[in-house]
Structure 1
Amino acid sequence: MALGHTDKYKLSLLLTLWFLVFYPILPEMVREWAGHSDNNHGFLVPLITVYLIRQKKDELLSLQIDTSKWGAVVLVAGLVIFLLSFAGGGGFPARVAMVFSLFGLLWYCLGGAWMRLLVFPVLFLLFMIPVPVSVVGLVSMPMQLMATKLSAQIIQHLSIPVYREGNMLYFVGTQLEVAEACSGVRSIMSLTMLGTIFAYMSSTGWGRRIALVLAAVPIAMIANILRITGTGVLANFFGDRVARGFLHEFSGLVVFAFGLAALGLLYTLLNTKKVA
């Protein structure tokens, strides 16, 4: 049967209860979105999910609804993981459990036919979860050192004297530290999100779609190296104050714009170029 008024009421009630259960972990996550420019995309993810679902509205309403015991299994598992993680102070598992419990709830209430269309929009919500600090700490130092080394080499090719020591760049009149926040780890997540959207929109095969998602990693790394290089050049002429405040935040937006443009170009090429 199609989705009737009674079904809408029950689904709305269950979604309200789901929201109330998971509300305690939402304020902290929102603060993390607002507190770091690399997490700002978290504000966009729920809006993108709503947009993607609305794009499927007519197709969804033409489907029959059913219940699924597998959806109930996913829902219960998500709730158990959430309770254990929340009680133990595990923020990241609790947030992941929030998304999967929503998936299970919808699967249980609406059935498999609906979820075949909703699987991407709902699981896309995983991108709103900030990268755990433990993961950032694990990979940030190698990425810091690599980005600093390559940026120093580029700056030297521009005939600007610079000496690198670890994640520090020393110029004639100033010095610049490539901090953990500039390692590029978090920007990889935001650009991977963009690559996933492009892959979802792509009309090509799975190979090219996967290539779009994977391309986000080197694009993010290149964009971050260019950001550090540009900041280093400006610091050489205007001092290290260019690495702080408005210019630092603006450079983050430039990196995001560069990544978006690069992924958009790759998307266009993969969707227009003929295979020999």
Structure 2
Amino acid sequence: MGILSSARKAAFSNPNLTALKPLIFVLLGLLVMYLPSFIDLFNGIWNTNQQAHGPIVLAVAIWFFYFKATLVPQANIPIVPAPHIGWPVLILGCLIFMVGRSQTLYLFEIGSLILVLLGIMLLFFGKPMAKHFWFAFFFMLFMVPLPASIVEMITQPMKMAVSIASEHLLYEFGYPVARAGVIVLIGQYQLLVADACAGLNSLFTLEALGLLYMNIMRHESPLRNALLAALIVPISFAANVTRVVILALITYHWGDEAGQGFVHDFSGMLLFVTALFLIICVDTFLRFLTGLLAKRKTRLGANS
């Protein structure tokens, strides 16, 4: 336990290689354990439209772990190892990984990483440190691949809803538009509302983006946080509709080639810019609203 104790103390204050050796060996073992899984993901389902959000969430999760780690020194978090909790969590995570890896169940194989990392943190640093990183662990849930049946069940209604909304919006602006399922017909052109335009990819990425925004902003009002989290879903829907409408208009006015290629890819960036703008607008409105409610509550308290 003496070696582990020195590693724990050195990890976030004046680290040196000797004291960090136990933790480094554990992390290297973790890399060897999970690297093949992530290689399979990058060459497999993360290379598809349905699960393309995975690499984005992974990159943001790594950054967020680093961001929270930089806050540890000034947070003055006590290091109280919790092996009685850490070992069971770590062992459970390893068992789930073995089942997932052997049966090619990404839900278990990648999901186990959260438990394994949590177990390691509890073993080395304890519950206060794990609590400090709680959102980083929660955020990783968004990168865990879901079974194809669940993805299809969620994606198909979303694509249909985006198609219907886009059709009605274009019709209100006087464009010759019709719809057949998830195919939007505008003029002589047909646009398929694919998974990338209105699927789980955009929903998960935007939900993760919104929750990350909330965590970084550190709003104190639980009501405001809950409302913003709930409104991210319609914000995602509105951003997807905006993307489809813009692509339809570009295709209608400048032809099919203009609506594909760079413009189509750029519209994906526009999707996230639009969503982020809407999140900030909604958050600003909620801040104004909660401020009014707080002032009213204060006045009522003063009058009583």
Alignment of 1:18-33 (within 5 A): 18-31=30-43
| 1:248 equivalent among 264, 271, 278 | 264
Q: Write the mapping of 1:80-119 to structure 2, written as runs, cut at 5 A.
A: 80-119=95-134
What displacement does 1:47 show? 1.6
1:132 Cα deviation after fit? 4.7
Q: What CA distance in whole angstroms lies between the structure 1 residues aligned with 2:180 and 2:232? A: 29
User: C-alpha displacement at 1:65, in angstroms?
Assistant: 3.4
Say which is worse superposed, 264-273 or 212-221, in terms of deviation.
264-273
Matched, 1:228 2:244: yes
**1:34 positional shift:** 6.3
Identical counterparts, % of pairs: 23
- TM, length-normalised to structure 2: 0.82
Q: Which residue of 2 aligns with 1:219?
A: 235
Q: Return the offset for 1:106.
A: 0.9
Q: TM-score, normalised by structure 1?
A: 0.89
2:191 alignment partner, SS class? strand
| Partners of 2:54 and 2:142 within 8 A in 1 | no
Unpaired runs of at least 5, structure 1: none
**What aligned pairs does 1:1-276 form with structure 2 within 5 A after superposition?**
3-4=9-10, 8-31=20-43, 36=49, 38-39=53-54, 41-42=56-57, 43-60=59-76, 63-130=78-145, 132-200=147-215, 201-271=217-287, 273-274=290-291, 275=293, 276=296
In the alignment, the residues of structure 2 paired with residue 39 and residue 81 of structure 1 have an alpha-carbon distance, to the nearest angstrom, of 20
- SS of residue in 1 equivalent to 2:133: helix
Distance 1:218 1:65, change over 3 A: same
2 CA distance for matches of 1:169 and 1:81? 43
What is the rounded CA distance, in whole Å, between the counterparts of 1:270 and 1:154 in structure 2?
27
What is the total number of aligned residue pairs between the two structures? 275
Secondary structure at the counterpart of residue 114 of structure 1: helix
Which letter does structure 1 place at the counterpart of 2:162? A
Instruction: Tell me how far 1:93 sits from its aligned partner.
Output: 1.8
Letter in 2 for 1:112: K
Q: CA deviation at 1:119?
A: 1.9
Distance 2:150 2:257 in 1: 29
CA RMSD of aligned residues (A): 2.3
Distance across 1 between alignment mates of 2:261 and 2:145 = 22
Gap regions ≥5 residues in structure 2: 11-15, 297-304
Asked if 2 retains the 8 angstrom alpha-carbon contact of 1:191 and 1:220, the reply is yes
* 1:131–1:186 contact (8 Å) kept in structure 2: no
**Which amino acid is the alignment partner of residue 20 of structure 2?**
K
